[in-house]
Chain A
Amino acid sequence: MLTRRTLLGAISALALLTAGGAATAQDAYDIALISKGFQHQFWQAVKAGADQAAADLGVTVTFEGPETESQVDRQMDMLAAALSRKPSAIGFAALDSQAATPLLQQAKDAGIPVIAFDSGVDSDIPLTTATTDNVAAAALAADVMAELIGGEGKVAIVAHDQTSRTGIDRVEGFSNRIKEAYPNIEVVSVQYGGGDQLQSTEITKSILLANPDLKGIFGANEGSVLGVANGKQELGSNVVIIGYDSGAAQKALIESGVIAGAITQNPVGIGYQTVQAAVSALKGETLPAIIDTGFYYYDKTNMTDPKIAAVLYD
Chain B
Amino acid sequence: MTDTTAPATKSGVRISGAFHRLLAFSGLIALIVVFSIASPNFMQTQNVLAILQATSVNGVLAIAATLVIITGGIDLSVGTLMTFCAVITGVVLTYLGLPLPLGIVASILAGTACGLVSGTIIAKLKVPPFIATLGMMLILKGLSLVISGTKPIYFNDTPGFNQIALGSWVGTIFPAVPLPNGVLILFVVALLAAFVLGKTQLGRYTFALGSNEEAVRLSGVNIDRWKIAVYATAGGICGVAGLLIASRLNSAQPALGQGYELDAIAAVVIGGTSLSGGRGTVIGTLIGALIISVLANGLRILSVPQEWQTVVTGLIIILAVYADILRRRTL
Contact = CB atoms under 8 A, between A and B. Distances in A.
Given A62-B303, A99-B250, A84 B42 contact: yes
Contact of B31 (A11, A76, A77): A11
A10 interface: yes
A11 B253 contact: no
A69 B249 CA distance: 14
Nearest to B54: A77
Nearest to A18: B302
B306 A38 contact: yes
A73 B303 contact: no
B154 interface: yes
Nearest to A163: B151
16 contacts: A2-B326, A3-B323, A11-B30, A15-B34, A15-B38, A18-B299, A38-B306, A73-B249, A81-B50, A84-B41, A84-B47, A86-B41, A96-B152, A98-B250, A99-B248, A99-B251
Interface of B: 23, 26-27, 30-31, 34-35, 37-39, 41-42, 44, 46-47, 50, 53-54, 57, 152, 154, 166, 245, 248-251, 253, 255-257, 259, 293, 296-297, 299-306, 312, 315, 319, 322-323, 326
B256 A84 contact: no
A62 B305 contact: yes
Given A15-B35, A98-B154, A99-B250, A80 B303 contact: no
Contacts of B300: 62, 64, 78, 81-82, 85
Given A6-B319, A8-B30, 13 more contacts: A10-B315, A11-B31, A22-B302, A68-B255, A68-B259, A70-B257, A71-B259, A76-B249, A77-B297, A85-B301, A98-B249, A99-B251, A102-B166
Contacts of A11: 30-31, 34
A60 interface: yes
Would you list the 4 A-B pairs with minimal beta carbon distance, nearest first?
A: A70-B255, A84-B47, A81-B300, A80-B50
A84 B49 CA distance: 10
Say whether chain A's binding surface is mostly helix, strand, loop, or mixed. helix
A4 interface: yes
Contacts of A63: 305-306
Interface in A1-48: 2-4, 6-8, 10-12, 14-15, 18-19, 21-22, 30, 38
Contacts of B27: 4, 7
Contacts of A62: 300, 303, 305
A18 B53 contact: no
B256 A72 contact: yes
Contact of A12 (B34, B152, B245, B248): B34
A69 B50 CA distance: 21
Contact of A14 (B26, B253, B256, B312): B312
Nearest to A67: B259
Given A3-B319, A3-B322, A96-B251, A80 B38 contact: no
Contact of B303 (A6, A8, A21): A21
B289 to A, nearest CB: 13
Contact of A72 (B42, B249, B319): B249
B249 A18 contact: no
Interface string A207-247: 00000000000000000000000000000000000000000
Given A3-B322, A70-B253, A102-B166, A76 B248 contact: yes
Contacts of A6: 319
A120 B38 CA distance: 33
Contacts of A12: 34
B297 A84 contact: yes
Given A72-B256, A77-B296, A4 B42 contact: no
Nearest to A102: B166
A271 B324 CA distance: 44
Nearest to A3: B323
B251 A98 contact: yes
A38 B30 CA distance: 29
Contacts of B248: 73, 76, 99
